[in-house]
Structures are given as structure tokens and as C-alpha cells.
């Protein structure tokens, strides 16, 4: 594991998703939106720290994040790096709600069985609340998607493990 690593997920649902894969929650610093993730990366001072932002594929990307170059894209997960730096970006396509719905379809489960709507706007509204972090239905959905080897989950887990374990 790198000497120091910081992860910056952009919303409560993303934070919970990353917490699911990363055992050490002290590595994770919740950010309130893509602009906050961008500021955290841009204002970082230590070269000894590996920084990893986790954001949705928003149409509006802060100028700082536009300088990141793609390294890999697979199963609705894109990994980018700011050239010549220790800063990386995981982009979940298009957003956490579409990522979850796509993965559920891939492993033949229904998010409605967990109390979630398949309507993107309704699902997004529920996922944006802070209470999602402790929602037992959301946590079970994440567990089941992982257990059933949803492709986006496997890709995300592999990328995170590459940073945290090596």
C-alpha cells in the first residue's frame, strides 16, 4: 500500500459504495459534489500521497478535472490520471443510479426488491440523501451485486485494490 492514500467520493451513495470495498474508512473523505472533489485534488500539497477522486460522469466537469487522461475504461468505470502526478480519478458512468441499475440488469436482480425505484430521478433523489449511508436495503443491494459478481463492481474492486494493496 502506498505510504498515504486519500479517496474522495463525491456523494453519500458513492461514499458508501467505496466504503464497501475499502476496509480502512480513514482513507475516505466524503466530498459534497464534483466541485469539492476537484478542489481537494487541486489543493493537495503532499507528493507522498496518492489521491483518488470518485465522481459521476457529469456533463459539467471542473476545469482541473479536464486535464486527467484516460488509462482504462471497462464496465461503466473509467480510470483517469493527471499526467505526471499521483492523482487519479474514477468516473462512474453516467451516475451512481445508472451504474447500479446497469449492474443489477447484468446479474438479473431487481432494485425494486430492495425498495428502490427504477425511475432514474426517484432513485437519484434517494441516493443523494445522507441516510443512504446506513440504509440496510442499500447495503444489501451492494452486497448482493458484489456477491453475484456484477461486472462494474468487479472492475471497481480491482481498480481500488490495485491502489490500496500495491
Q: Edge-to-edge strand order for the sheet containing 77-82?
A: 4-9, 49-56, 87-92, 77-82, 68-74
pLDDT confidence tier of residue 2, bands split at 50, 70 and 90? very low
Instruction: Identify the pLDDT of residue 163.
Output: 86
Q: What mean pLDDT comes out for the span 126-151?
A: 95
**What is the overall mean pLDDT for the chain?**
91
pLDDT tops 90 at residue 136: yes
Q: Give tens-digit pLDDT for 71-116.
A: 999 999 999 999 888 999 999 988 999 999 999 999 999 999 999 9
Instruction: Identify the pLDDT of residue 98.
Output: 95
Q: What mean pLDDT comes out for the span 23-43?
A: 88
Domain ranges of the chain: 4-165
Beta carbons of 30 and 128 less than 8 angstroms apart:
no
Q: What mean pLDDT comes out for the span 109-131?
A: 93
Among 10, 32, 28, which Cα is nearest to 95's?
A: 10
Instruction: Identify the pLDDT of residue 3.
Output: 55
51: its cell numbers = 489521491
Amino acid at each position: 500500500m502506498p505510504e498515504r492514500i486519500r479517496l474522495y467520493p463525491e456523494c453519500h451513495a458513492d461514499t458508501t459504495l467505496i466504503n464497501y470495498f475499502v476496509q480502512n474508512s480513514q482513507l475516505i473523505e466524503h466530498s459534497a459534489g464534483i466541485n469539492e472533489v476537484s478542489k481537494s485534488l487541486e489543493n493537495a500539497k503532499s507528493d507522498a500521497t496518492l489521491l483518488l477522486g470518485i465522481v459521476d460522469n457529469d456533463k459539467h466537469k471542473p476545469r482541473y478535472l479536464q486535464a486527467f487522461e484516460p488509462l482504462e475504461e471497462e464496465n461503466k468505470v473509467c480510470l483517469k490520471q493527471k499526467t505526471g502526478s499521483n492523482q487519479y480519478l474514477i468516473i462512474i458512468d453516467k451516475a451512481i443510479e445508472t451504474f447500479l441499475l446497469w449492474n443489477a440488469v447484468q446479474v438479473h436482480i431487481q432494485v425494486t426488491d430492495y425498495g428502490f425505484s427504477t425511475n432514474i430521478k426517484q432513485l437519484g433523489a434517494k441516493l443523494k440523501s445522507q441516510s443512504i449511508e446506513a440504509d440496510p436495503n442499500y447495503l444489501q443491494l451492494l452486497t448482493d451485486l458484489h456477491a453475484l459478481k456484477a461486472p462494474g463492481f468487479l472492475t471497481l474492486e480491482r481498480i481500488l485494490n490495485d491502489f490500496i494493496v500495491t
